[in-house]
């Protein structure tokens, strides 16, 4: 995947991943030649939770078991990587109610 990219500053095709960042970002890709920022790296644990949740949501949607507001809510959170505490709570309730597989609950 990295090979498809070239640094837009210096044209290099070599990149370095840094994951020891201080602050809100989990990691970033920088150019190996000019050290410039290329893109942010998503936190893999968030990505995993997001994928598990999407899978559960798709199963629920395919099964056609959700009522009106549940359907609206589920469609609303389908593409979100992060859920608020309230959204997570609601989602868990829907999972329990319909005996859906509950993805690992976000901690913190």
Return residues touching Zn ion (CB under 5 A): 7, 9-10, 12, 31, 33-34
Q: For residues 34 and 105, which CB has a smaller minimum distance to Zn ion in the complex? A: 34
Q: Which is nearer to Zn ion, 8 or 85 (CB)?
A: 8
DSSP class per residue in the chain: -GGG---TTT----EEEE---SSS-SEEEEETTT--EEEEE--HHHHHHHHHHHHHHHHHHHHT---HHHHHHHHHHTT-S---HHHHHHHHHHHHHTTPPPPPPPP-
Instruction: Please state the closest distance from residue 38 (CB atom) to Zn ion, in A.
Output: 8
Minimum Å gap between C-beta 11 and Zn ion is: 7
């Amino acid at each position: 995947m990295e090979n498809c990219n070239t640094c837009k500053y210096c044209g290099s095709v070599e990149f370095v991943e840094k994951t020891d960042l201080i602050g809100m970002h989990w990691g970033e890709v920088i150019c190996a030649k000019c050290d410039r920022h290329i893109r942010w790296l998503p936190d893999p644990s968030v990505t995993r939770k997001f994928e598990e949740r999407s899978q559960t949501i798709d199963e629920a949607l395919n099964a056609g078991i959700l009522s009106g507001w549940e359907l609206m809510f589920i469609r609303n959170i389908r593409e979100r990587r992060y859920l608020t505490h309230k959204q997570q709570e609601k989602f868990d309730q829907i999972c329990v109610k319909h005996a859906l597989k509950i993805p690992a609950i976000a901690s913190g």
